[in-house]
Amino acid sequence: MASELKDKVIDYFKGVDTQDIQLILSTLTSDCYFSVETHGVNMIGSKAISQMFERLWANHQWVKHDQFEWVICKSEEAIAVRFQVTNKLLDGQLVNKSNCNFFNCTQGLFSEVRVYMAGENTLDQNH
């Protein structure tokens, strides 16, 4: 089961990096709670989350997530991951960050995603 959680997180980030909103949404419950804890951003549901990612992609040439380090809850209902993010801005500048995400799982899908982000918030509701 632990490998299934990792695979679901990998799918989530693959969706983010390839701008595949359907892949991202396939990992989340329709009423998923999504927050960027370090910047006071909170949203609920597929529509708000989709709009957030559309803004992210519109404001960057590309994003890449890698160098994952995992912590899996013994109940296998939650997983945390620390990772590196590289954002290529529209002007060509590269921005590197070290972030952590915490995912809670309900019936095989993520019902809650909490993001702890270094630096500027790239997932702002109004960005």
Domain 2-116 has CATH 3.40.50.2300: no
90, 60 in Cβ contact below 8 A? yes
pLDDT at 89: 92
Percent of the residues in the chain that have a pLDDT greater than 90, as a whole number: 79
Residues in the chain: 127
126: which DSSP letter? T
Q: Give the residue from 69, 65, 80 showing the smallest Cα distance to 18.
A: 65
**Residue 54 confidence class, pLDDT cut points 50, 70, 90:** very high
What pLDDT does residue 1 have? 61
Per the prediction, the chain carries an average pLDDT of 92
Report whether pLDDT(22) > 70.
yes
Q: Quote the pTM value.
A: 0.92
